[in-house]
Structure 1
Amino acid sequence: MKIFSREQIYEGDKLTIERQQISSTELMERAATQIFNWMHLRMQGAQVPIHVFCGIGNNGGDGLVLARHLITHGYNVKTYVVNYSDKRSKDFLINYDRIKTVTKAWPTLMKSEADFPQIHPDDIIVDAIFGIGLNRPVVDWVKNLFRHFRATKAFTLSVDIPSGLRTDEVPESHDDVVWASYTLSFVSPKLVFFLPQTAKYTVQWEVLDIGLDQEFLSATETAVELIGKYEVLPIYVPRDKFSHKGQFGHSLIIGGSYGKIGAVTLASKGALSAGAGLVSVFTPKCGYNIIQTAFPEAMVYTDTNEEIITDIKFDIVPTVVGIGVGAGTDVKTINAFEAFMKHNKAHLVIDADGINIISKKKALLKLLPENTVLTPHPKELGRLIGAWKDDFDKLHKAKAFSKKHKVIIIIKGANTMTVLEDKLYVNTTGNPGLSTAGSGDVLTGIITGLISQGYNPLVASIFGVYLHGKSADIAVEDYGYQSLIASHIIQYLGKAFIDMFKQPEEQQPPEEDGEE
């Protein structure tokens, strides 16, 4: 799913009005009617008090249209205009006049805290105060209104975006924004719904189709894409009946040190379970018996050193190399890593101490093949790209780093993001159970295994992140968040592949009682 920017949405509105020969007021009516339909389907006439708070711009106009439809359908509605300025948009004014035709009183005009209404926890708040076009500081009394909403503990539904939240900034204070229970977003979700510092402002979200011009929607390239099942399904390459392991590449996992052989074991298992034809492991001598016992499907090469990697030598030609997991940053290991990089011709996936080594010795960045995949956790990312001010600054720095060094960066998190230059891919799978030792090693292995089969590094990264999260989503049903471990991700990876082809279960109508 494309995530359109604020400027693109404005352009889409403009083109839709021109091509469909409608007015902006008619487009507003269409959009707000979709919100009404969403509410009406769920409420079915229930007489819960609904408090609709409208700003004086186009988001407020949406709120007025919604309130009018709710009133004409018999709902218990109280409408308020949050009068934070003397300026009003044209479409707000048109709908301000229209709502008077269905109610005996004008909406309540709010000018200060003295006008705040009493709201019961069982009531519903509709937040239609500010939209994506907010370009001014929120005045203090309106911020206090936001706090008032939160204090009531009432269900809060935001129109398009929680008021006070901008599409490209992190709020200075959490009191500057409405905390929505649910947001109905026009056209596409907003990037801020997926960032750690801003996702908290809406518990859930849903996209409403407001009928924007289809040619615009399909032809417009966006800088951000949301990745789910229907985005990865076309990526999958099925296997021919007569295929054999030689067609699916040879993955080499390099890493491990004394006490950390589990990391390469998990990564190599992840690579083979993701579909690599062959998997070899290069590790210190202490890892030989462990890997041969724990993972008999792998072939093992060892260093002459018992405890750390000091000299990387092997007699195979790998398709792809996953390097760094559990390797440590001993000087001898750093030297071995550099010597390997100077002669390597294969695709690279670099994780953990591989990233730490690069961070210590930035000259190694010049040795990275184009589209090398880097999979850092947050602290490793900070060592790589530098400290950031907030989530948007982090994305800016990651994009700049990717563009400069021609690498792919995977920013791990609740919505793991894959970055290639100015393009961002936001993953939708995964859960808190992934916050466990070794899950990153498994991800490195999965991406390595996908590249091994012929998926290009970007596609392998997007697909691998999705499968990794989906496997955890399936596994968590059996183990819960706390008991999910990295090995379960590998164990359930096959089910993640199979799940791509499952159709949503059709709901059966309830059986009716009848007389015999």
Structure 2
Amino acid sequence: MKILNAKQLKEADNYTIQNQGITSIELMERAASELFNWLHSRLQGANVKLHIFCGVGNNGGDGLALARMLVKEKYNVAVYIVNFSEQRSADFLVNYERLKEMNYWPEVIKESNDFPELAKEDIIVDAIFGQGLNRPPENWVANLIQYINQSKAFVVSVDIPSGLYMEAVPEDTSAVIQANHTLSFQLPKLPFFLPDTGIYSNNFEVLDIGLDMEYITQSDSSTYVIGKQEALEMYKPREKFSHKNTYGHVLVVGGSYGKIGAAMLSSEAALNSGAGLVTAYLPKCGYQIMQTALPEIMVLTSKHDEYISEIEFEVKPTVVAVGMGMDTKPVTKNAFRQFLEVNTLPLVIDADGLNILAQEQDLLEKLPSKTILTPHPGELKRLIGAWKDDFDKLAKVKAFSKAYDLIVVIKGAHSITVYHDALYINTTGNPGMATAGSGDTLTGIIAGLVAQQYTEVEAAVFGVYLHGKAGDLSVEKNSYQALTATEIIDFLGDAYLDLFSQA
């Protein structure tokens, strides 16, 4: 699913109106009908007070049309015009008149002493500002937003929480609606997925208002949301007449004294993701541990007992995953450097591999094209430097990706895979996955997919999806608190099977 910016969404509205032979007010009626159906299906005529706050633009017009439908169904509705401007959109005015024709007159709010009484048992519909907002609301409107947030009532925002921008982080964080639920028209919005802005809506849902799919399909967007359908389209089925070598060979390079578990998790995850063969390259202290714990994994060792002192092997892997638990001792740094000098294999780099790259950034020039990096926020900051906010972070990662031709997986609640200007936003995963070893499993999964001839971008995007889905399926039977990296691996098979489920 694509994500469009504010300009493109406005163009999509206009294209739909022209191509489908409808008026803008008819398109607004579609949007309001979807809002009404969502609310009505849940309230079923319940005697609850509904407060609808409408701005004077098209977002407010949506709110007024919704109010008319709710009043017609005898709901207990109070409607307020948030009069922040004397300029009103044409469609707002049409719906304002339609509401008055029902002998229903909205209250007009012009300043702080006009604020209505709100109870925590009420429902608030926020239709003050839409996606076109690009400046802070004036003081009394900011005060109204704070007043709504403090009411503790359940808040439903129309399209986007008021006060939130489409392509920037608000400077005044108190002047943004804290929505319990956002009903987004046709497509989700980028701010829903970023830590700095996603906090303003606990949940969101996309309502199909019939925007023209031809425009959306042809629109020049490089930002995508990855759900089950998108993941299924990437899936490669197995052939009947195949063998283990058909599905590639992953070499996992990592581990140090006390941290052999990191390499174990990556190795097991690579195997469970479908790789035909997996070899672990460890310091000598890890040999017996790995051979005992994971009999399916082949093991090679470095000369040093506690650290990797060289990376030399005679096997012929398809891909190398490197860095997990490896440490950054001088001898290990030197081994990593010497390996990169001669390596031509695809790479997936995590953990201490990333830390070494951050410390010795000339090594970035030695990475093969489309090397996959999987940093958590701290590792990312060491690689690219600090950022002002999430939009600045994305800009810096795009520039970094283009400069070195790398794929970067920004790990987080909605992990984002970045390749040049393209963003792939993941929709699986949960807070339970903030646990030791979770990143090691992701590295192994991605490497296992590269071994199976997925392109590097596909492997990163699909791997992030499977990793998150395995975590989601695990917590359904356990809990956030008890989720472990080993359980993520255990549920990888279920994540694959889920691709074909109808639920």
TM-score range for the pair, normalised by the shorter chain length? over 0.9
Aligned to 2:157: 158
- Secondary structure at the residue paired with 1:202? coil
Over the aligned positions, Cα root-mean-square deviation in angstroms equals 1.1
Kindly indicate whether residue 122 of structure 2 is the aligned counterpart of residue 123 of structure 1: yes
Kindly indicate whether residue 370 of structure 2 is the aligned counterpart of residue 356 of structure 1: no
Aligned to 1:58: 58
Q: Which moved more, 1:367-376 or 1:40-49?
A: 40-49
- Secondary structure at the residue paired with 1:2? coil
Aligned to 2:471: 472
- Secondary structure at the residue paired with 1:3? coil
| 2: CA distance, partners of 1:196 / 1:480 | 23
Number of residue-to-residue matches in the alignment:
503
Residue 311 of structure 1 deviates from its aligned partner by: 1.3
What is the identity percentage for the equivalent residue pairs of Structure 1 and Structure 2? 56
Aligned to 1:402: 401
| 1: CA distance, partners of 2:45 / 2:379 | 53
Residue 93 of structure 1 deviates from its aligned partner by: 1.4
| 2: CA distance, partners of 1:242 / 1:330 | 46
Aligned to 1:277: 276
Residue 18 of structure 1 deviates from its aligned partner by: 1.1
Kindly indicate whether residue 448 of structure 2 is the aligned counterpart of residue 449 of structure 1: yes
Residue 43 of structure 1 deviates from its aligned partner by: 1.6
Kindly indicate whether residue 293 of structure 2 is the aligned counterpart of residue 298 of structure 1: no
Aligned to 1:141: 140
| 2: CA distance, partners of 1:476 / 1:43 | 30
| 1: CA distance, partners of 2:164 / 2:257 | 49
Aligned to 1:15: 15
Residues 352-372 of structure 1: per-residue CA shift (max 9 Å, x gap) = 010111111111111111110
Taking structure 2 as the reference length, the TM-score comes to: 0.98
Residues 144-200 of structure 1: per-residue CA shift (max 9 Å, x gap) = 111111221111111100000011111223211011111110111111111111111
Q: Contact 2:136–2:170 (CA<8 Å) still a contact in 1? A: no
Kindly indicate whether residue 292 of structure 2 is the aligned counterpart of residue 320 of structure 1: no
Q: Which moved more, 1:262-271 or 1:17-26?
A: 17-26
Residue 478 of structure 1 deviates from its aligned partner by: 2.6
Residues 388-440 of structure 1: per-residue CA shift (max 9 Å, x gap) = 11111111111110111110000111111111111111111111111111111
Aligned to 1:234: 233
* Alignment-mate amino acid for residue 187 of structure 2: S
* Alignment-mate amino acid for residue 32 of structure 2: A
Aligned to 1:258: 257
Residue 243 of structure 1 deviates from its aligned partner by: 1.2
Aligned to 2:88: 88
| 2: CA distance, partners of 1:230 / 1:472 | 18
| 2: CA distance, partners of 1:386 / 1:45 | 54
- Secondary structure at the residue paired with 1:238? coil
Aligned to 1:342: 341
* Alignment-mate amino acid for residue 28 of structure 1: M
Residues 448-485 of structure 1: per-residue CA shift (max 9 Å, x gap) = 00100100111001111111111111111233111111
- Secondary structure at the residue paired with 2:320? strand
- Secondary structure at the residue paired with 1:418? strand
Q: Which moved more, 1:195-204 or 1:213-222?
A: 213-222
Aligned to 1:69: 69
| 2: CA distance, partners of 1:301 / 1:63 | 65
Residue 47 of structure 1 deviates from its aligned partner by: 2.5
Taking structure 1 as the reference length, the TM-score comes to: 0.96
| 1: CA distance, partners of 2:200 / 2:231 | 28
| 2: CA distance, partners of 1:31 / 1:231 | 26
Kindly indicate whether residue 31 of structure 2 is the aligned counterpart of residue 46 of structure 1: no
Residue 32 of structure 1 deviates from its aligned partner by: 1.3
Aligned to 1:197: 196
- Secondary structure at the residue paired with 2:252? strand
Stretches of structure 1 that go unaligned for 5 or more consecutive residues are 505-516
* Alignment-mate amino acid for residue 195 of structure 2: P
Q: Which moved more, 1:50-59 or 1:474-483?
A: 474-483
- Secondary structure at the residue paired with 2:15? helix
Kindly indicate whether residue 307 of structure 2 is the aligned counterpart of residue 308 of structure 1: yes
* Alignment-mate amino acid for residue 299 of structure 1: M
Aligned to 1:98: 98
Residue 223 of structure 1 deviates from its aligned partner by: 2.2
Q: Which moved more, 1:236-245 or 1:320-329?
A: 236-245
| 1: CA distance, partners of 2:300 / 2:135 | 62
| 1: CA distance, partners of 2:321 / 2:220 | 32
| 2: CA distance, partners of 1:465 / 1:44 | 39
Residue 137 of structure 1 deviates from its aligned partner by: 2.3
Residue 242 of structure 1 deviates from its aligned partner by: 2.0
| 2: CA distance, partners of 1:119 / 1:356 | 52
| 2: CA distance, partners of 1:136 / 1:262 | 50
Q: Contact 2:59–2:128 (CA<8 Å) still a contact in 1? A: yes
| 2: CA distance, partners of 1:37 / 1:487 | 43
| 1: CA distance, partners of 2:362 / 2:79 | 62
| 2: CA distance, partners of 1:407 / 1:179 | 36
Kindly indicate whether residue 400 of structure 2 is the aligned counterpart of residue 413 of structure 1: no
| 1: CA distance, partners of 2:263 / 2:363 | 22
| 2: CA distance, partners of 1:26 / 1:492 | 47
Residue 271 of structure 1 deviates from its aligned partner by: 0.6
Residues 259-291 of structure 1: per-residue CA shift (max 9 Å, x gap) = 111111111111111111111111111111111
Q: Which moved more, 1:39-48 or 1:250-259?
A: 39-48
| 2: CA distance, partners of 1:178 / 1:171 | 11
- Secondary structure at the residue paired with 2:196? coil
- Secondary structure at the residue paired with 2:195? coil
Structure-to-structure mapping, 1:180-195, within 5 angstroms: 180-195=179-194
Stretches of structure 2 that go unaligned for 5 or more consecutive residues are none
Residues 103-133 of structure 1: per-residue CA shift (max 9 Å, x gap) = 24x2111111111000111111111000001
Aligned to 2:369: 370
Q: Which moved more, 1:72-81 or 1:444-453?
A: 72-81
Kindly indicate whether residue 167 of structure 2 is the aligned counterpart of residue 168 of structure 1: yes
Runs of 4+ in 1 over 4 A off after TM superposition: none
Residues 304-338 of structure 1: per-residue CA shift (max 9 Å, x gap) = 11111111111011100000111111111111101
Q: Contact 2:157–2:181 (CA<8 Å) still a contact in 1? A: yes
| 2: CA distance, partners of 1:55 / 1:274 | 50
| 2: CA distance, partners of 1:116 / 1:41 | 29
| 2: CA distance, partners of 1:53 / 1:42 | 20
| 1: CA distance, partners of 2:475 / 2:44 | 35
| 2: CA distance, partners of 1:200 / 1:333 | 40
| 1: CA distance, partners of 2:89 / 2:475 | 49
